[in-house]
């Protein structure tokens, strides 16, 4: 299932919610296959992070190679999600919201809002 944002895996999923592909002998994770086919190899010491926070998404634009520590940090400590980031950018474009005001609304620092607006984080 493809939407304007995520490409939802519609076949089998793991218990954790990741899309999976099996050849009968081994199981591969669909998001990793999508990344490899669209962007290239994944170094052994790195992981794929879903920027949209949806484990079933296979949109290569929403997949990023990161360290395990970064992946955990994003997952456990994230105050924002994909939809909130889109909303922040939309609100900022109206001209009626400063970094400070958006930070207050979304309970994050002005610096985080600046990084989101300037595509330094949440590169989607």
Q: Confidence band (pLDDT; 50, 70, 90) for 72? A: low
Residue 15 has pLDDT above 70, yes or no: yes
Could you tell me the CA-to-CA distances from 59 to 39, 44, 45 in Å, in that order? 11, 21, 22
Domain ranges of the chain: 20-77, 82-117
Average the pLDDT over 74-101 and give the result.
Answer: 86
Q: What is the pLDDT of residue 54?
A: 84
Residue 76 has pLDDT above 60, yes or no: no
Q: What is the pLDDT of residue 45?
A: 94
What token pair was written down for 81?
């999600």
Average the pLDDT over 95-105 and give the result.
Answer: 92
Q: What is the 3-state secondary structure (H, E, C) of the chain?
A: CECCCCEECCCCECCCCCEEEECCCCEEEHHHHHHHHHHCCCCCCCEEEECCCCCCECCHHHEEEECHHHHHHHHHHCCCCHHHHHHHHHHHHCCCCCHHHHHHHHCCCHHHHHHHHCCCCCCC
Instruction: Write down the mean pLDDT value for the chain.
Output: 87
Q: Confidence band (pLDDT; 50, 70, 90) for 11? A: very high
Q: Is the pTM of this model over 0.75?
A: no
What token pair was written down for 108?
């994050």
State how far the Cα of 74 lies from the Cα of 100, in Å rounded to an integer.
22
Residue 25 has pLDDT above 70, yes or no: yes
């Amino acid at each position: 299932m493809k939407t304007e944002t995520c490409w939802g895996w519609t076949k089998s999923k793991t218990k954790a919610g990741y899309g999976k592909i099996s050849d009968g002998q081994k199981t591969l994770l669909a998001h990793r296959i999508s990344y490899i086919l669209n962007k290239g190899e994944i170094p052994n010491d790195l992981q794929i992070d879903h920027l949209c926070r949806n484990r079933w998404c296979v949109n290569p634009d929403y997949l990023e190679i990161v360290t395990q520590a970064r992946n955990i940090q994003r997952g456990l400590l994230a105050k924002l999600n994909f939809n909130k980031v889109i909303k922040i950018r939309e609100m900022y474009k109206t001209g009626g919201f400063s970094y400070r005001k958006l930070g207050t609304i979304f309970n994050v620092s002005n610096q985080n809002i600046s990084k989101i607006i300037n595509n330094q984080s949440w590169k989607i």
